[in-house]
Amino acid sequence: MIVMRCERFQEFSMNSPLARFDPSEASKFFFQHGHTGWLGLKYSAHADNWVELELPWRDDLMGEADRAVLASGPIISLMDMASGMSIWQTKGTFTPIATLDLRVDYQRPARERSAVWGRVECYRITRSAAFVRGIAHDGDRDDPVAHIAGVFMTIGNDPREGKVPEGSAQASEAGTGDE
């Protein structure tokens, strides 16, 4: 889930208290540790309601021993992270969110030894949910490797004041996406 390293991020945010969430700056923190650091994710680009990240090629991320093609697992991680960041970018603030559901439709294998980019847009935010869609591509956005769609809980908007509610939102704590 996407509630990430809140403490470290807050620490970082304090250096610039009124600053809007900045995907490029936040990436410097997010990708230093943990799973996304291990994957070596990098910031690529963003605009009003989308964020693009890069998953560089690495030999040990292959899905099959005899084919130099990225496994699908790291692509899910890439898209999950880009999803979370697209939500923060759209809201303008870093608030805890949790992946509820993420669907990935694989269109074709990535090219051999190619990096993969994940571009995700947040197309709707309600009081308690955020909806995202996006593509993974290996250089040409018009010929995607995968399409994704996901739904996230926006925990911070819960009226019970940031307290994780029982039941469904407990899921938010789920080990899901984000850093």
Partner 1 sequence: MSKLELPPYARALGIKAHDVEDGVPVLTVEFGPSVEGRPAHYHGGATAGLLENAGYAALRARLIEEGREAQLKPVNITVQYLSAGKPQPSFAKGRITRLGRRNANITVEAWQDNRDRPIATAIMNILMA
List residues near partner 1 by CB under 8 A: 1-7, 33-39, 59-65, 70-74, 76-78, 80-81, 98-106, 109, 170-179
The residue (of 104 and 123) whose beta carbon lies closer to partner 1 is 104
The residue (of 47 and 58) whose beta carbon lies closer to partner 1 is 58
The residue (of 18 and 65) whose beta carbon lies closer to partner 1 is 65
DSSP category for residue 33? S
Q: Which residue has the tokens 């805890």?
A: 96
CB of 21 to partner 1, least distance (A): 16
The residue (of 37 and 92) whose beta carbon lies closer to partner 1 is 37
Contact between 147 and 137 (Cβ < 8 Å) = no
Q: What are the CA-CA distances from residue 118 to residues 13, 74, 159, 162 (Å)?
A: 25, 11, 32, 29
Contact between 41 and 116 (Cβ < 8 Å) = no
CB of 36 to partner 1, least distance (A): 7
CB of 160 to partner 1, least distance (A): 18
Residue 167: left (phi > 0), alpha (psi -120 to 50), or beta?
left
